[in-house]
Structure 1
Amino acid sequence: MAKLNVSRRTFVKMTAATAAVAAVGATAGSALAEEPYTAADSTGQVRRIRSCCRGCGKMECGVWVTVENGRAVKIEGDESAPHSMGSCCAKSVSSIQACYHPDRLRYPMKRTQPKGEDPGWQRISWEEALDTIVKGIENVKAKYGGESLFTMGGTGRIWCMSPYAGYGSWFMTPNTAVAWQVCKGPRHFSSALTSEYNHSWSASVERPSVYTIWASTPEVSNYDEAGRSVTDEVFQADTFISVDPRTTALGKEADIHLALRAGTDTALALAMCDVVIKHDLVDWKFVRRWTNAPFLVVDDKEPSGPEIPHIFHGPNMIKTKLLTQADLQEDGSPYKYMVWDSASGSLKWFNATGQRAAADPTYDPAADPECNCWEGEQPWKRYDGTGHKDTWSRRNFKGMEGQANLREGQSQAWLPDEDDFESIDPALLGSFEVTFKDGSKHTAIPVWQKFVDRCDEYAPEKAAKICELDSALIEKAALAYATRKDPRWGNGGILYQLAIEHHGNSIMNCRAIELLTCITGNTDGPGGQRGATKIDVNYMGNFSDQSYNANIDSQLKHPEIMAKQLGRDEHPLFEWWGLWGNANSIWKAGVTGDPYPVKGGVCQSGDFMNMGNTTMAWDCIKQLDFFFDIDLWHHPTSELADVILPCRHWLEVPCPRQSQGSGGALGACVPCVEPLAETWYDPEIVEALYKRVGIPWGWDDDNPYPTLEEKLDYVVREVAPSWKDYVEQFEENGWWDVKKLRPDDWGTYRRYQTGFMKKSYTEAPNEHNVIPGFNTPTQKQEIWCTVMETYCGAEDALPDYRPNPDSRDRNPKLWEEYPVQCLTGRRIPVYFHSEHRQLPWCREVWPAPRCEINPDDAREWGIEQGDWVWIESPHGKIRQTADLFYGVPHGVINCEHTWWFPECPAPEHGWRYSAVNQLVNNDIDDPHCGSSIVRGYPVKVYKAEEGCPDGIIADASDPRLKQWLPVYEGRDE
C-alpha cells in the first residue's frame, strides 16, 4: 500500500471508462400507464411522472415523481436529463415535505392587527382578496403616484417572476427591489456591457479540459449547475482550478487553488490576462477581428457618437473617444470605427451599422452591403438566400466548412472554421498620428495597447500583493488555463458566481473575468461562455413575468417614469440598464421619505433579508400603507402584508423549462398532485389582478385574458402543436437536446460569425436578419466598453481594481475596531437562501446557522466548536454557531445568510437573531449596478455567553420537528 499514490481525482478518472460502459446498459424506464396522467384521476394507481424539480430556484434538475393514490411519495433523479445526470439533491427529495407541510398557506388571508404585531390573520375569499389588493394599490397610486410603489421578487422559479416586470404597466413604477440585483444580475449586466446579455454562463456541462470554478460552491448548492454534474466535470477535467478564499469541499481536489483575498478578483483576473499576453497565448484571430481591440482611442477627443442611439432596454446615445470616420471627414459615418491597417500603412474602418436595426425602422441591414463589415470585405454575405431565419442554414454557409468537435459522449455541435481577415491587417500596438477634419493633429492608440498597459499594472508580482497570493501560482494558473489542449478552441469558460457580485466592485470583477475568457478564445466556443440556452420557449418573458400584449405601455416606455427610479442619481448606468431600482435606495426612501415616499408594494417568492441592510428593509415595509404577498408560507416578509395569497408548489403546476444557463436542455414541470385547498397558480393570480384593473394580458385583442391552457399552448408553439402534445413527448422521450432542436442557433458555436449571436429585427417581426457580431454599440466584444465610457467616463472603459469604501485598503481605521473580514452566503446543501427551514429532513441535518472560523482564531478568541458567537459590525449584531474549519483563512469568517426561524412567533419569526445582512452598511454599494456590499466587510467576533437564542430549534432531537411532518388528508378543504 505504501507504494500506491493515487489521488481521488486520479482514481475517478481511472474508473470513468468502466462506469460509462456500465451506464450504457442501464435504463430506468417509465412506469407510466397507457392513458395520459391526470392528477385528478389517480385513486388506486401508482404512477411515475417525469418532471422538473424546483426545490431550488436556480437549477432545473430532471426528476421522476412517484405518485401513489394521488399522493407524491418519492422523488428521484431522471437519467434522461443530461445536465443533472440522473441525480437530485436533498432539497429535491424534501419537496414532498414542503408540498404536504401542515403550515402551508391554504386560503387568502387579511390582517386584523397593526403591523409590527402578530397579524391576526383572518381567512377571506379570493374575490375579497383581489378586490382589496386592487383598492389598496390604487389608493396608494392616487395619493402618492405610481413611483411610490415597488415590487419585490426573489428566486427564479419562472412562474413567480412577476415582480421583475409583470406589474409595471399597472403600478407604473420604476422601482423593483429584486434579488437579481445581487444574484446573477450584475453578471448579466456586465456581459451585456461587454458582449451579450447573460453570457456570464459557461457551458461547463460540455466538459471543458480546464475547469475553473471562480467564487462558488456549486457542488453543494445546485446553483446554475447540478451538483452531480459539477463533480463529474471536476474529475474529468485535465486541470481543475479553484479561485476561492476558502478551501471548499470540492476545491480541495483542485490542481491549482488560488486562495485570493476576498474582493480582489479584478486584480487577479487582470494579472492572469497579463500572463496570457506576455506568453503569447492570445487567440489573435478572435481578438483582432471580433473585439474592438484594434479600434483607436484618441485621449484628447471630445466624446461623440452616432445620432441613432444604441438600443438595449431603452435608447442610449453613445459618446466615445474611439476614433470614427466622422472625426476625419465631413461626410464621415459615426458608425465607422477606425483602425490602423499595417498592410497598407493607412486608416481603415469597421462599419458597425448593425446596431441601427433596433432603433431605426427605416434601416434594413440586409440591404446594406457594408453593414457590420470591415472595409473592402462583405463576410456576412457568405450564406445563400436572403439571410432570414426561414432560409438560413449552416449547411449553406460558404467558406466555413466547420466540424463536429466535442468529446465522445457529449452532444455534438457545429464549429465553423475561425474567420480571418481577407485584405487588411489591423494594428494592435503602438500609436499613430491622425488628422481630424478640422486639420488638428492627434495621437491615436489601439484599445489593445491600452488594455496591455492596464494588465501590466496588475502583473503577477504586483497583483500578488493585492490578492495575498504567490505570484508564481498566479502565473501557473494562467498558463494552465490559456495553454490550449486542442489548437482549434480554448480550454473552456469560467464558472463565476455570486461572491464576486457582493464586494462593491461587481461590474469590474465580472468584466475582467469575461475578458480573460475572451482573449483565450472561449467566447461561444466548446465549453466556453455561451450564455443562456437558445430555444423558442419564452418561459420568462411570456409566461408569468409580464403581459404578453406588446401594445401595453410598459414602464420602460415612459422616460418620465424611469427618471424617478430610486438610485439613478448615484448610479448613472441605471439609465442604460433600466431593470431595477436600487434596493438600498428604496428602503431608505421608505424610512425617510426622501426623495419621495415609498408607500406600497408587492412581494412574490422573495424576502427582505436577501439584499441591503435587513433592518432598514424591515422598517421600510412596516410603514407601508398597503402591501401584499404571494407565497407558500407565513414568513417574516409576509407577516408585514395586508393580504396574503396562497400559491402552488412545483409538484402542482405545469410549466415548460429550459436550461437557464448553458445546459442546453428543454423539459417541463408536470403537475403530479392535485393543488392544495384554495391555492392558485402565480400566473393566474397576476392575470386576475390585471383583469380587475382592465389592462389586457393576452397577445390577442379579441382574447385579452387567455386561459392557462391557452397560455401554455402559446408558449410552446414553436416546438410542439400544443402543451398537451409537448408533455406527452416529454413523458415518453425525456429531456430534449436543444442542440438538435436548434442546430443553426444553439447547435452552432462561434455564432458571432454566423449571425446568430444577436438577432436584429426588421419591420417584419418574424424575420431575423442574420448579421455577424455582438449586441454592443461597436458590434464587437468590447474590451473598451463604450457604454461604461458614455455614462461613467473614459476612466471606466477598461476594468480596474477599485476596493470599496469600507475595505481595509481605503478605511484601515475602521478595521482597527472590527479586524475580521466577514464573508457571507455560505452554501448549505439542504437550504436554498431562506427556504426550507421548516422541512424536518432539512432542519434535522442543519438545525442552526453556522459561522466558519479558523480553529487557530477560535482558540485565540476562546471559542469552541458549536459555541454561539456574536458577530458585530458598526451597523448591527447577530448570533450564529461556531463551525471550526481550517479551510477559512486567518482573520476571516464565513457566515450563513437569510436565517429566520419558523418556530419563533410572528411577525419577526426570529430574523433578528441571525440574519446576517443586519451587519451591512446601507450607504455604500457598487457604483455601477448598485449591488449591495454583503460580503467582505469588517466585523468583530466573540463568544456569546447568552448561548442559544430563546425558542429556536437548535438540534435534530427537538420534538417540535415532528409537528412539521407531512399532512396528506384534507388537502381540498
Structure 2
Amino acid sequence: MPNQPVTGQIKPDRIVRTVCSPNCTGSCGINAFVKDGRLLKIEPAEMPDNRYNRICLKGISMAMQRVEHPDRIRHPMLRKGDRGSGDWQRIGWNDAFDYLAEKLTGIAERYGPEANSWISMTGNYGIMSMMLSARVANSLGGTAFTNLGIMGDLGANMGYLPTLGVHQEANEWPDIVGSKLIVLFGKNIADTAHSDIHFMFDAMEQGARVVSIDPRYSRTSAKADQWIPIRPGTDAAMILAMIKVIIDADLHDADYLRGHSNAPYLVREDTGKLLRYDAIDPAAPGNYVVVDAGTGLPADAALAADPVLDFRGEVRLAGGGALPCRTGFNALLEGCRSYTPEQAEAISEVPAAVIRELALDYAKTDPASLWIGQGTQRYYNGHQAFRALITLGAITGNIGKRHAGVSWGGGSLLRFIFATPDEWLAPNGHTGRVYPGTRIHDIIEAAEPYPVKSLWAHNYGFGTQTPRRNRFINEVLPHLELFTVSELVMTQAAKCADIVLPATSYYEEDADIVASWNNMYVQLRTRAIDNVGESRSDWEIFKGVCERMGRADDWSMTAMESCEYILRNSKDPIFSNIDWEELRREKIVRAEIASPHVPFADLKFPTPSGRIELYTESLVEHGQGVPNFEEPIEGNRRPRARDYPLTFMSNHSMYSVNAQHTILPWIREVQPDPRVEMSPVDAGARGVSDGDAIRVFNDRGTFTAHVNVTEGIKPGALNLTAGWWPEHFIDGHYSDLTHMPLNAAQETILESNYPIFDVSVEVEKAGEPEAS
C-alpha cells in the first residue's frame, strides 16, 4: 500500500496509480497523491516484481514542477504579430477549432490534402500519444512525418533489422545477473537507465567483470572494472578486429554458425547475391545453397546435414558454366582481414593489446553479455557498429542464450508501438501519405514530391531537439502557411507557431497504455488530476478538429475504448493475449512472454532465411554485405578536420530527458547550466582554462557556453549534455551545428538516421557576456 500521511501532512483526497511516461522509457509505476484535483506528491507504485519499484528526480520534478510550470500554456493562443514576436491573442476552443478547420481545408483545396502534415515525437510515451499524428494524418488524408530517423536512434534499428529481423531486442535486465563478463559499447547505464543499474551491480557482486568502451569517462565507466576510451564513431573497427582475433584463434562456435546463421550459405561472386538451388537444378526449389561436407558438392541448404562453413571455389550451374562462389562466412573472413588489432588501433586509438585481450576474454568466458548504447549509432554509418556487434555475438554462439546475448533496447515499448493495429491507425479505411521525418526540411523547402504547407507538431521539442534549428526557422518555416503546435509549456517551437494549443500532461489524460523499454510490463495510465487551465488531450484536440472537417465518425471512440481496441487487436500476440479486464483492474500486466525474457531462445529468427543473417543481400549494392567500418562523415581523419578538428557529441544526462527537464528548478540546482566537456590537451592548445566561456562553431552554426576541462574525455572530442534551450546559452544553440545527410544504405533498410554525434567543430575562447 502507498505510504499514508503522517501528522502534519495534508491528507490526499485519493491516491491514483499512474505511469511516469517521458522518453527515458523506464515507464515507472507511480502513485499520485491528489488533493482538490492537484498533485500533492508522487511515490513509487508497487510493481509485480519489486525490483522495478523506483522513482527518480526527473520523475518527481516533472510531476511537481512541470505540470504547474509558470510557462504552462493554459489556453489556446493565436499569433497576432510576426512569427516569434510573442504577440498573442487568447481565444477559446471553438474559435481554435474553427480557425484550424478553415486553414486546413483551404490548404487542402489549394494544394491537395497531403499538403497538411503532422509530426510527433517522444514527449509522452503513451501508445496513443505516440501514434496519434499518424492517425489524424490518415483521417484527413494528410502527410505523417515519421519520427524514427529524426530522433537519432534509428541506426540501432538498422543494425538489428537486416541481421536479426527485429527493430530491437535485449535480454531482460534481471537476466544480466549470472553473466561473468559484461561488455558495454557506449552504454551509459548509470545516466540513461539509472533505475536499472542495480541489476548490473547485482551481477558484479556475483563476480561479473564489467568493461566500458566509451570516449567519455561516464558514470558507468567509473563503476566498471575497466574503461577503454575509444575515438568517437570507430566502434565497428574495434569490433571487427575482435571478430578476427576470435576466428584466427579458432574460438568461434562453428556448429552454432552452421545451424543458426546464413554463414554457410553460398554467395555468388558475380552479383554478391545468395545463390539459389534452382540455378543448379531448375526442377528444384529455389532454396539457399551450401556445400555438403560429406560429398564436397553443392546441396540444398534445407536438406544438407553438414554444411561447410568456409568455402571459396566454383559451382557448376545448370547450363554447365562455372560460377565463382564463396560462403557468407568466407566473405566475413575477407571483410575482417584488414582489421588486425594493430590496424584497428590506428583507427580507434584503442591499443592492439587491449583489443586482443578483450576479444580472447569474451570468447573464453561463458556466459558473456554484450550491451550497446545509442551513442554508438549516432554517426553516419552507426548501423555498422550494431551489425558488427551482433556478428560478434553470433560467432561465439551467445545469441538466444541466458546471461548472454547482444542487447540494445528491449522491453515491451517499441514492440508494442510497431504492433499498433492498422485499423486504428487508418480509421474507416482513410489513409494519407507517410514520409521520413529526416526529409522534412527538404520536402517543405523544395515542395517535392509535393507542396507541404501546414505542419502540426505535438510531443516534440522542435527548436531544441530538431536538426539544424536555424535552418528550420530561417529557411523552412517561411514556406509554411500554417504552423501549429500542441504543447504544455512555451517551447521554442511554440514561440514560432501561428496557433498554440494547450495540451495536457500525462497526469491529466483520461487513458493511455504505456509499455517500457526496460521490462516486459504493460501499464494502463489513467487520469490523476484535473486539467490545468483549458488544456485538452491530443485525442480531444484532434477529435475536435476532425469533427469540424467532416470526420467525426473516425473519432467516435473514447480514449479508454481506443486503449482497449489497441490492446485486443495488437499485431503481436504477446499483447493481444493480455486480459483487458485484468489490465483495467490491476493497471499493470506482464506481456504474455517468458520471464526473464531472452530473445531468440528458440533460435528462430524473423529473417528471410529464418537464421541470423551475417551476410545481408540487400546491402551488397552499398558495399555492406558484411559489416565494415567507414570513417565518420565528419570524423577527425576527414579533410574537413583541417578546419574543424573536434568531434562534438551531446550525451543524455541523468537529470534530463531531452529538453523536458532543463527548465525545472530542482533539476537546475544539480545541473545549473550547459557545460562543454573538453580534454586538457585540446584546451591547452587553444588557451582555454576550466570555466572559461568558449565559442563552439562550424560552417553551419555556433554557440557559446562555459567549458569543463576534464581528463574524462578523449582528446579530439567534445561533449555537451543534451536538452538545453537557447536561452540557457550565452549565445546560439548546439543544434545549429548539426546536419541531416541522407544515407543510401540506411534508406535501403528503412530511412536515414540523424547522426547527432557525427559533427565536426572548432573551439575558440570567448569573451564573458557583460552583466545586465
Partner residue in 1 for 2:494? 638
Q: 1:536 to 1:100 in 2, by over 3 A?
A: closer
Q: Partners of 1:925 and 1:535 in 2: how far apart?
A: 26
Q: How does 1:187-586 map to 2 (within 5 A)?
A: 187-207=156-176, 208-222=179-193, 226=196, 228-229=198-199, 232=202, 238-301=208-271, 321-334=273-286, 336-350=287-301, 374-375=302-303, 424-485=305-366, 490-494=367-371, 496-527=372-403, 528-529=405-406, 532-533=410-411, 538=416, 542=420, 547-549=424-426, 552-555=429-432, 565=435, 580-581=436-437, 583=438, 585-586=439-440
Asked if 1:937 corresponds to 2:755, the answer is no
Asked if 1:605 corresponds to 2:557, the answer is no
Partner residue in 2 for 1:396? none
Q: Which amino acid aligns with 2:180?
A: S
Asked if 1:664 corresponds to 2:520, the answer is yes
Q: Partners of 1:345 and 1:856 in 2: how far apart?
A: 59
Q: Note the C-alpha offset of 1:522.
A: 3.2
Q: How does 1:548-947 map to 2 (within 5 A)?
A: 548-549=425-426, 552-555=429-432, 565=435, 580-581=436-437, 583=438, 585-593=439-447, 597-606=451-460, 607-619=462-474, 620-655=476-511, 657=513, 659-661=515-517, 663-695=519-551, 705-717=556-568, 718=576, 722=580, 725-730=582-587, 735-738=588-591, 741-743=592-594, 750-753=600-603, 773-789=604-620, 792-793=621-622, 795-811=623-639, 814-823=640-649, 825-900=650-725, 913-922=731-740, 928=746, 929-947=751-769
Partner residue in 1 for 2:145? 176
Q: Note the C-alpha offset of 1:31.
A: 5.4
Q: Note the C-alpha offset of 1:193.
A: 1.4
Q: Note the C-alpha offset of 1:627.
A: 1.5
Q: 1:173 to 1:712 in 2, by over 3 A?
A: closer
Q: Note the C-alpha offset of 1:923.
A: 5.1
Q: Partners of 2:598 and 2:738 in 1: how far apart?
A: 44
Q: Note the C-alpha offset of 1:694.
A: 4.0
Q: 1:141 to 1:258 in 2, by over 3 A?
A: farther
Checking the alignment, whether the CA contact within 8 Å between 1:83 and 1:665 is kept in structure 2 is no
Q: 1:328 to 1:139 in 2, by over 3 A?
A: farther
Partner residue in 2 for 1:109? 77
Q: Note the C-alpha offset of 1:601.
A: 0.9
Q: 1:637 to 1:656 in 2, by over 3 A?
A: closer
Partner residue in 2 for 1:53? 20
Q: Partners of 1:750 and 1:832 in 2: how far apart?
A: 31
Q: 1:479 to 1:82 in 2, by over 3 A?
A: farther
Q: Note the C-alpha offset of 1:133.
A: 2.2
Q: 1:924 to 1:785 in 2, by over 3 A?
A: closer
Q: Note the C-alpha offset of 1:216.
A: 3.5
Q: Note the C-alpha offset of 1:296.
A: 0.2
Structure 2 unaligned segments of length 5 or more: list them.
569-575
Report SS of the residue matched to 2:500. strand
Q: Partners of 1:810 and 1:238 in 2: how far apart?
A: 39
Q: Which amino acid aligns with 1:601?
A: L
Q: Note the C-alpha offset of 1:505.
A: 0.9
Q: How does 1:97-176 map to 2 (within 5 A)?
A: 97-118=65-86, 120-155=87-122, 157-158=125-126, 159-162=128-131, 165-170=134-139, 172=141, 176=145
Q: 1:799 to 1:201 in 2, by over 3 A?
A: same
Q: Note the C-alpha offset of 1:59.
A: 1.9
Q: Note the C-alpha offset of 1:880.
A: 1.4
Q: Partners of 1:169 and 1:675 in 2: how far apart?
A: 28
Checking the alignment, whether the CA contact within 8 Å between 1:48 and 1:66 is kept in structure 2 is yes
Alignment deviations for residues 633-669 of structure 1 (CA, whole Å, 9 cap, x no partner): 1111112222222222122235565644352223333
Q: 1:345 to 1:820 in 2, by over 3 A?
A: closer
Q: 1:84 to 1:222 in 2, by over 3 A?
A: farther
Q: 1:880 to 1:690 in 2, by over 3 A?
A: same
- RMSD of the TM alignment (CA)? 3.2
Checking the alignment, whether the CA contact within 8 Å between 1:690 and 1:697 is kept in structure 2 is no
Q: 1:748 to 1:458 in 2, by over 3 A?
A: closer
Q: Which amino acid aligns with 1:680?
A: R
Q: Which amino acid aligns with 2:235?
A: D
Q: Which amino acid aligns with 1:286?
A: Y
Alignment deviations for residues 936-971 of structure 1 (CA, whole Å, 9 cap, x no partner): 4322212221337x87xxxxxxxxxxxxxxxxxxxx
Q: Note the C-alpha offset of 1:425.
A: 0.4
Q: Partners of 1:879 and 1:796 in 2: how far apart?
A: 39
Checking the alignment, whether the CA contact within 8 Å between 1:199 and 1:529 is kept in structure 2 is no
Q: 1:247 to 1:856 in 2, by over 3 A?
A: same
Q: Note the C-alpha offset of 1:465.
A: 0.8
Q: Partners of 2:48 and 2:706 in 1: how far apart?
A: 38
Q: Note the C-alpha offset of 1:340.
A: 0.8
Checking the alignment, whether the CA contact within 8 Å between 1:536 and 1:716 is kept in structure 2 is no
Report SS of the residue matched to 2:96. helix
Q: 1:250 to 1:849 in 2, by over 3 A?
A: same
Q: Which amino acid aligns with 2:736?
A: Q
When the two structures are superposed, what TM-score results if normalisation uses the length of structure 1? 0.71
Q: Note the C-alpha offset of 1:850.
A: 0.8
Q: Note the C-alpha offset of 1:234.
A: 5.7
Q: 2:2 aligns with which of 10, 30, 33?
A: 30
Checking the alignment, whether the CA contact within 8 Å between 1:115 and 1:622 is kept in structure 2 is no
Alignment deviations for residues 158-199 of structure 1 (CA, whole Å, 9 cap, x no partner): 242236633442464566162643433221232111112223
Q: 1:536 to 1:101 in 2, by over 3 A?
A: closer
Q: Which amino acid aligns with 1:216?
A: K
Q: % of aligned pairs identical?
A: 22
Q: Note the C-alpha offset of 1:882.
A: 0.9
Q: Note the C-alpha offset of 1:532.
A: 4.2
Q: 1:139 to 1:84 in 2, by over 3 A?
A: farther
Q: 1:519 to 1:546 in 2, by over 3 A?
A: farther
Q: Partners of 1:890 and 1:781 in 2: how far apart?
A: 37
